[in-house]
Amino acid sequence: MEEDRIYELVNELWMKRQADSKFVPGETVIKIGEATYDNEEINAMFKAILDGWFAMGKYGKEFESNLSNFIGQKYCALTNSGSSANLLAIESLIKTGKITDGDEVIVNPITFPTTFRPLVNNGIKPVFVDVDLKTLNFDEEKLKDSVGDKTKMILAQHTMGIPNNMKLIMDIAEEKNLVVMEDCCDALGSKYDGKNVGSFGDVSTFSFYVPHHITMGEGGALVTNELEIMKHARAMRDGGVWQWCDKCNDFVDTRSCPHKLLSIYEGMPEDTHRNFSFHTFGYKVRPMEFQAAMGLVQMRKLPDFTKRRKDNFEKLVNGISSLGDYFIFCSGPENSDVNWFGFPFIIKDGTPFSRLELIEWLEKHKIEPRPILAGNILKHKAAKEFENGFRVAGEMKNSDKILRDGLFLGVHPGIDDERINFIIDTFERFIKTRR
């Protein structure tokens, strides 16, 4: 078949590229993250394209089923980014009455704006609580103290793949009757007390951007056990069209549902097609079908990706542990199993070098370092736009330290032992020049 010939050519081209690739120390860039894929993903995307349907369809639905089963939740909505997943999750919580205008939500300042911006947009006040330097997540004592009369939700972001102490968070939530949302965009495959992150909260979000644990190029998802949350999430994802059919008792394809011409809204003509009958004024944040096809292959490879990330992290920790006088190395809380997004560390006070000197040395040797997310997001210029729209619960001492002195390196599956050894050697040579 002509189609088979395409796949054969892809396989030949991929094998040739692999044969031509070679790591040259000090010349080949060691990135913080990259897409780890091969001819299997490429052929899956070609097949989806050749099927002739480009918008999200059967591959997207299969991915939703696979992800929800993996996390241990009933429902999943695939989106075009983790940021969109956060937007839909928060607005779905509002639609279902779990949070509302004037409420307060506890958030981590070591973050990205798209984690909490939907709160501000809807008149809900983020309350920033300082973090622990080892876990990059909430300082547990400060978290307890930050819960007030207006607190309605804890937004538990699993930073760099490190799970929060979910027992503590769920205990607080039960005692205070709070909603819990998990931002797992950096943490697919991480576990707490044997359970996947994303399986604890009322709703949880994931990202499949290039450097993440699996990738679709761009992509994201939200998962939940609550049907009403998912009804609203899918409606808002699809422009505002209600995807749930009471007669079918299921989410449906509104093009093929036998009841597609039965208007579900009073005052609308009875023959209005459901694709043009809006339950809410929503968004259009679905991914492309070929992206979902890539994601299905990536999900099958996740166990191997996870092992390689963990191995790379351990090798780096063991290789530069002798430099502990200069660095704080991050770690997970008790009962956690971290699927590392990167290798985060913090330069200690009083070291004989600055962060800038280390960055310049690493970049000179073609090793990419990056800040730990935004550091303290409240120090950024953008925060001035919303300074009346959030509250700060006490000092941000550790968040400020991470802003000044935090970095992370890559541990993605594309980094092999040769690259790991080069990173370790580069660190050791840097320290020798500064002693």
Q: Which amino acid, one-letter code, is at 372?
A: I
Q: Which amino acid, one-letter code, is at 231?
A: K
Name the β-bridge partners of 347.
327
Query: How does DSSP classify residue 378?
Result: G
Distance (Å, whole) CA 125 – CA 316: 39
Q: N- to C-terminal Cα distance for the chain?
A: 66
Strands 220-224 and 203-207: antiparallel
φ and ψ at 301, to 5 degrees? Answer: -90, -5
Is 212 one of the catalytic residues? yes
Query: Are the CB atoms for 254 and 243 separated by under 8 Å?
Result: yes
Q: Pick the catalytic residue: 212, 213, 232, 365?
A: 212
CA contacts within 13 A on the Cβ side of 239:
7
Nearest to 89 by CA among 61, 63, 119: 119
Distance (Å, whole) CA 143 – CA 14: 50
Strands of 130-173, DSSP E = 151-157
Distance (Å, whole) CA 283 – CA 298: 27
Catalytic amino acids? 212
